[in-house]
Chains A and B, each alone.
Chain A
Amino acid sequence: MALQSQNRLLTCIQCGKCTGSCPEAGRTPFNIRMLVRRRQFEYAIEESLPWYCTSCGACTLRCPRDVKPSEVIIDVRSALVEEGQIPVSIQKALENTAVQKNPWGRSRAKRGAWLDLTDLAIPHVSETASRRLLFTCCIQAYDPRCMVIPANVARILHRGGIEFGILGEEEVCCGNEVRRIGESGLFEELQEENRAAFEEYGVKEIITLSPHCMNALKKEYGDLGIGVRHYTEVVADLIGAGRLTLGGDYEKAVIYHDPCFLGKQNNVFEAPRTILGAVKGLRLLEFSRSREVSLCCEGGGGRMFYETEGSSQRNSELRVLEAIEKGAEVIATACPFCVMTLEDPATERGQVVKELSEILIEVL
């Protein structure tokens, strides 16, 4: 593995397309092209730099030479992790995940607490005929603001006639951010535990609520032999097949923000738009940077647990300002990280951020 990444590094021609697409470039000291260069020559890299990366993946997608700069960042971070020299808040997130299987260290036993928000009786996946698993995600299991999302999606899937079950407290963090932080040992442990549960219960299909979970389960868990989809893909299909009708009206101008892990990294651009397009009265707006070039909200890559020194405007704020400028009343997105990062600047400016399921639930 190390030889592969070393070889990839050597193919870098320093074209700068990576830095050109990086959401951190220009506004922060982070310069991915230079970092790759330093890595080529095995020069030291200033300790705080690797932590700016948001794992949006734009650099890797644009690189003409398959250098995979996002992986270079992970390699650099791994070395820091093994040395133990990582920011305290990231340490805490990792330690919490090791003990309680979620980065906030909330009780593992309470991973199913969101079930209290719905009157639907949701079975354990082993009790379903379809063995279709709804993978909850740590944020949606524990953050009070986001706990409504699984409850919404459960109702929407139910309405569409989709049978599914959950793992409850047997589910552990998918490890997507853990791997990007560079803690490969912990990622392996999390992966093993989830895989063991999937095998034990004969899981045949996984629907995820978070694009980050989808990314990890689909692309980084090896060959699961299980189909993994984001819930928006499932719901868009239901709408297309006429199995889900949206009766209500939603007379609002809604601008859609493509999450990096759903959009550019996994090519799910149409499904959320199909969903929004099917809502009566909804006027769909687009950001100037949308789809493949959507502006990263800066919530991923460990950034939820670590704030960089910076006096420049956050991308999330820029997004909100553009939404206002374009006359949007609601910013819609399909990722809990984006919801959390956009909401603060949005609230200050009287803008509303809604996860897709929150709009859907109003028009079901």
Chain B
Amino acid sequence: MNLLVFTKRVPATQEEELRIVDEGRAVDLSKMPFKLNDWDNYAVEEAVRIAEKTGGAVTAISLGDSEADEVLRRAIAMGAKDGFLIEADRVLHDPSARAELIRTFLTREAVAYDAIFTGVQSEDDQFAAVGGILAAKLGLPYASMVIAIDSLEGGQVTCRRELEGGGQERIRVALPCVLSLQSGINEPRYVSIMGVRKASKVERRRFRAADYGDLGEGMIEVSEWAYPPKKGGATMLSGELEASCKELLAILKEKGVYQ
């Protein structure tokens, strides 16, 4: 099976304090360390395992700036055969714009594949949409939140989707298809620094995003960026034990973990 996996280079913001600059028009990412999007790490691992089992190959694709080459090297170090960098000099926030650009690219460059994998979402914008939009535009079947791929045979994928509360549903999807994989679908291998260095020797082809789409506006626009409403530390539930317990249950219900 030949697989395409989308990989995104994202800022590692978990431990950082982010600042909004330029009068609300931008978020300052200049001092952020960057890395491969966690979900994409799982997707690459899954694709590589499938390729190893079925005797196919994995191509990693990234839509981003020139530094995004880093994540392609990492994917190659994990076992991808090669990488395509669709280089854009600016960030496209609109997932529809990104999906459309990718669709044009895949079609025009006649990229062959049996399946396209993405991660469920990216750590930075969390849109969780490019996979589904792309699938619809390509006229391919789609599933997201895929937590396990059970079998690939007879031109079909049998897989399981993660549902709220821990349950799963098993579905069958025809190939070719687009699947968005959930974190935890596997345990990704470690990629050593030396491994990434070796991967630099494998060719990564570069393309210009502007050749495949409009990098200008999209169908949605960001008017400004804002900080979340101030939250000073933990919200303490006070009162008698019984009242606190009831409040606790209400929180659990709202989070969707307890019915």
Q: Which residues of A contact B (CB under 8 A)?
A: 81-86, 88, 90-91, 94-95, 98-100, 105-110, 183-186, 188-189
Given A100-B15, A106-B15: A88 in contact with B187 (beta carbons within 8 A): yes
Which positions 28-42 of chain B face chain A at CB distance < 8 Å?
A: 31, 33, 35
Chain A nearest CB, measured from B103 CB (Å): 32
Is A82 a contact partner of B195 (Cβ separation < 8 A)? yes
Is B15 a contact partner of A183 (Cβ separation < 8 A)? no
Is A91 a contact partner of B190 (Cβ separation < 8 A)? yes
Please, which residues of chain A bring their CB within 8 A of the CB of B16? 107, 109
Please, which residues of chain B bring their CB within 8 A of the CB of A82? 192, 194-195
Q: Which 8 A-B pairs have the closest CB atoms?
A: A185-B193, A84-B189, A185-B194, A107-B15, A84-B190, A91-B190, A186-B193, A99-B33
Instruction: Tell me the total A-B contact number using a CB cutoff of 8 A.
Output: 53
Is A185 a contact partner of B190 (Cβ separation < 8 A)? no
In the assembled complex, the Cα of A91 lies from the Cα of B193 at a distance in Å of 12
Please, which residues of chain A bring their CB within 8 A of the CB of B78? 84
Residue on B nearest A187 in the bound complex, by CB: B193
Residue on A nearest B33 in the bound complex, by CB: A99
Is A183 a contact partner of B14 (Cβ separation < 8 A)? no
In the assembled complex, the Cα of A109 lies from the Cα of B191 at a distance in Å of 25
Selected A-B contacts with CB under 8 Å, 7 pairs: A84-B190, A85-B189, A105-B15, A108-B33, A185-B193, A185-B194, A185-B196
Please, which residues of chain A bring their CB within 8 A of the CB of B197? 185
Given A105-B14, A107-B15: A99 in contact with B192 (beta carbons within 8 A): no
Please, which residues of chain A bring their CB within 8 A of the CB of B138? none
Chain B nearest CB, measured from A48 CB (Å): 15
With an 8 Å Cβ cutoff, the count of chain B residues facing the other chain is 19
Is B15 a contact partner of A110 (Cβ separation < 8 A)? yes
Is A188 a contact partner of B189 (Cβ separation < 8 A)? no
> Chain A CB within 10 Å — which of B187, B191, B196, B197 has the most?
B191
Is A84 a contact partner of B192 (Cβ separation < 8 A)? yes
In the assembled complex, the Cα of A358 lies from the Cα of B255 at a distance in Å of 44
Which positions 156-214 of chain B face chain A at CB distance < 8 Å?
A: 187, 189-197
Is B12 a contact partner of A100 (Cβ separation < 8 A)? yes
Please, which residues of chain B bring their CB within 8 A of the CB of A100? 12, 15, 33
Please, which residues of chain B bring their CB within 8 A of the CB of A83? 189
Residue on A nearest B187 in the bound complex, by CB: A88
In the assembled complex, the Cα of A107 lies from the Cα of B18 at a distance in Å of 12
Please, which residues of chain A bring their CB within 8 A of the CB of B192? 81-82, 84, 183, 185-186
B99-134 interface mask toward A, CB cutoff 8 Å, 1 = contact, 0 = none? 000000000000000000000000000000000000
Residue on B nearest A87 in the bound complex, by CB: B190
Chain B nearest CB, measured from A210 CB (Å): 21
> Chain A CB within 10 Å — which of B191, B192, B195 has the most?
B192
Is A84 a contact partner of B193 (Cβ separation < 8 A)? no
In the assembled complex, the Cα of A294 lies from the Cα of B14 at a distance in Å of 40
Chain B nearest CB, measured from A259 CB (Å): 28
In the assembled complex, the Cα of A149 lies from the Cα of B187 at a distance in Å of 37
Is A99 a contact partner of B195 (Cβ separation < 8 A)? no
Please, which residues of chain A bring their CB within 8 A of the CB of B35? 95, 99
In the assembled complex, the Cα of A83 lies from the Cα of B194 at a distance in Å of 11
Please, which residues of chain A bring their CB within 8 A of the CB of B15? 100, 105-107, 110
Residue on B nearest A186 in the bound complex, by CB: B193
Please, which residues of chain B bring their CB within 8 A of the CB of A88? 187
Please, which residues of chain A bring their CB within 8 A of the CB of B195? 82, 84, 185
Chain B nearest CB, measured from A171 CB (Å): 15
Please, which residues of chain A bring their CB within 8 A of the CB of B33? 99-100, 108
Chain B nearest CB, measured from A104 CB (Å): 9
Please, which residues of chain A bring their CB within 8 A of the CB of B12? 99-100, 105
In the assembled complex, the Cα of A117 lies from the Cα of B156 at a distance in Å of 61
Given A99-B35, A107-B15, A110-B15: A189 in contact with B190 (beta carbons within 8 A): no
In the assembled complex, the Cα of A282 lies from the Cα of B187 at a distance in Å of 52
Is A109 a contact partner of B193 (Cβ separation < 8 A)? no
Chain B nearest CB, measured from A78 CB (Å): 9
Given A99-B12, A108-B33, A110-B15: A183 in contact with B189 (beta carbons within 8 A): no
Sample of 10 further A-B pairs with CB below 8 A, known A84-B190, A85-B189? A84-B191, A84-B195, A98-B193, A105-B15, A106-B15, A109-B16, A109-B31, A110-B15, A185-B196, A186-B193
Chain A nearest CB, measured from B241 CB (Å): 28
In the assembled complex, the Cα of A90 lies from the Cα of B16 at a distance in Å of 22
Residue on B nearest A92 in the bound complex, by CB: B190
Chain A nearest CB, measured from B38 CB (Å): 10
> Chain A CB within 10 Å — which of B15, B31, B35, B194 has the most?
B15
Is A184 a contact partner of B194 (Cβ separation < 8 A)? yes
In the assembled complex, the Cα of A188 lies from the Cα of B194 at a distance in Å of 10
Please, which residues of chain B bring their CB within 8 A of the CB of A184? 194
In the assembled complex, the Cα of A107 lies from the Cα of B15 at a distance in Å of 5
Please, which residues of chain B bring their CB within 8 A of the CB of A108? 33
Is B194 a contact partner of A94 (Cβ separation < 8 A)? no
Please, which residues of chain B bring their CB within 8 A of the CB of A105? 12, 14-15
Is A94 a contact partner of B14 (Cβ separation < 8 A)? no
Residue on B nearest A105 in the bound complex, by CB: B15
Please, which residues of chain B bring their CB within 8 A of the CB of A85? 189-190
Please, which residues of chain B bring their CB within 8 A of the CB of A99? 12, 33, 35
In the assembled complex, the Cα of A183 lies from the Cα of B197 at a distance in Å of 13
> Chain B CB within 10 Å — which of A81, A110, A184 has the most?
A81
In the assembled complex, the Cα of A9 lies from the Cα of B196 at a distance in Å of 30
Chain B nearest CB, measured from A96 CB (Å): 9
Chain A nearest CB, measured from B86 CB (Å): 24
In the assembled complex, the Cα of A105 lies from the Cα of B197 at a distance in Å of 22
In the assembled complex, the Cα of A184 lies from the Cα of B195 at a distance in Å of 11
